[in-house]
Amino acid sequence: MNLKFVVVYLLLFWSCEPRQQNSTIEIKVLKEVKIEPDVIITPNPAYVRLVESDTGQFLFYLNHISEQLQFLNLESGSLAKEVELQFDGPNSMRNYTGIAALQKDRVWLTFSPPAIGTLSFEGEIQFKRRLSQGDVEHAYVGSNFHQELYLYEDKVFGMQPLFMDHHGMKKEDIQKHSLVYSYDMRSDQIKWYDVYYAKDYWDRGKKLSDFSWVRRGDKLYIAPWYDHEIQVFDMKKEQVSVKVEAKSNHINSF
């Protein structure tokens, strides 16, 4: 009899315990856009951009079927502009590694070996500038959706998020791998900045290297994929203005 009482008491006690509330996010659809293109397209998601101008909104993307850069009207689905890409001859894009931001009547590109350049809307390479090396010899620079090039005044800012010798380099070599460079259109100069992964980046093992960044005003927010420290780079002062740890409460181990 006493044993039954204890069991019932425990069941009642457990049922009275406050239950954990699961936080939820409510998503409301404000507007749905359905696009019916009048041409066959297979855009690479890494190179899709939303372009807003005084004539409307457009999707800017690389169409791998036609090998063209295309501007698709967001409302009608019709093509507003096509840029023919050339992969032979003096204006060849054969070694391009990324398609980047728009600037009036030209498109910025990155190349291999590491270089930066522009393409006119007529499909002609206007110029190509090899990147000078920093403290390490870089084998690759690129540009895509999360590695965008950003234009600020007379400079184009780009990123180099990868370690060039991940397996062979030492921990102290992390501070030689600059993450940010710029090309000055006025002086035609390349500059690498003192922006690095944290000194304790490899304290618990050799993590991979990569990061995303986004621009707000004259600041670039650098968010490593495998670390918790967000750095804010001031394009006007050309230096890191603040570092903030943004660790998730759900990440407690390596």
Identify any residues that bridge with 102 across adjacent strands, giving them in sequence order: 107
pLDDT computed for residue 21 by the predictor: 64
pLDDT computed for residue 74 by the predictor: 80
Q: Is residue 64 part of a domain?
A: yes
Q: Are 213 and 168 in contact (CB under 8 A)?
A: no
List of long-range contacts for 201-210, beta carbons under 8 Å, 24+ apart: 201/171, 201/174, 201/227, 202/171, 202/174, 204/254, 205/254, 206/166, 206/167, 208/166, 209/161, 209/162, 209/163, 209/166, 209/177, 210/161, 210/162
Q: Is residue 108 part of a domain?
A: no
Q: What is the mean pLDDT of each run of 10 residues along the chain (254 residues)?
A: 48 54 78 76 75 80 83 84 84 84 80 90 88 84 84 92 89 91 93 92 90 92 91 94 85 63
Q: Are 218 and 236 in contact (CB under 8 A)?
A: yes
Reduced to 3 states, what is the DSSP secondary structure of residue 213? strand
Six token digits for residue 179? 């993450």
251: which residues sit within 8 A by CB, 6+ positions away?
228
Q: How far is Cα 51 from Cα 187, in angstroms, rounded to an integer?
A: 29
Q: How far is Cα 234 from Cα 29, in angstroms, rounded to an integer?
A: 35
pLDDT digits 0-9 by tens, 80-130: 888 888 888 877 888 888 888 677 778 899 998 899 999 888 888 888 999
C-alpha dihedral, 181 to 198 to 113 to 190, nearest 10°:
20
pLDDT computed for residue 130 by the predictor: 92
pLDDT computed for residue 194 by the predictor: 93
Q: Is residue 74 part of a domain?
A: yes
Q: Is residue 95 part of a domain?
A: no
Q: Is residue 3 part of a domain?
A: no
Q: How far is Cα 254 from Cα 238, in angstroms, rounded to an integer?
A: 33
Q: Is residue 137 part of a domain?
A: no
- In the chain, the number of structural domains is 1
Q: Is residue 220 part of a domain?
A: no
pLDDT computed for residue 122 by the predictor: 84
pLDDT computed for residue 253 by the predictor: 63
Full domain range(s) for residue 52: 34-84
Reduced to 3 states, what is the DSSP secondary structure of residue 6? helix
Q: Is residue 39 part of a domain?
A: yes
pTM for this entry: 0.78
pLDDT computed for residue 7 by the predictor: 47
pLDDT digits 0-9 by tens, 125-145: 888 999 888 788 888 888 877
pLDDT computed for residue 252 by the predictor: 66
Phi, psi (deg, nearest 5) at residue 211: -155, 160
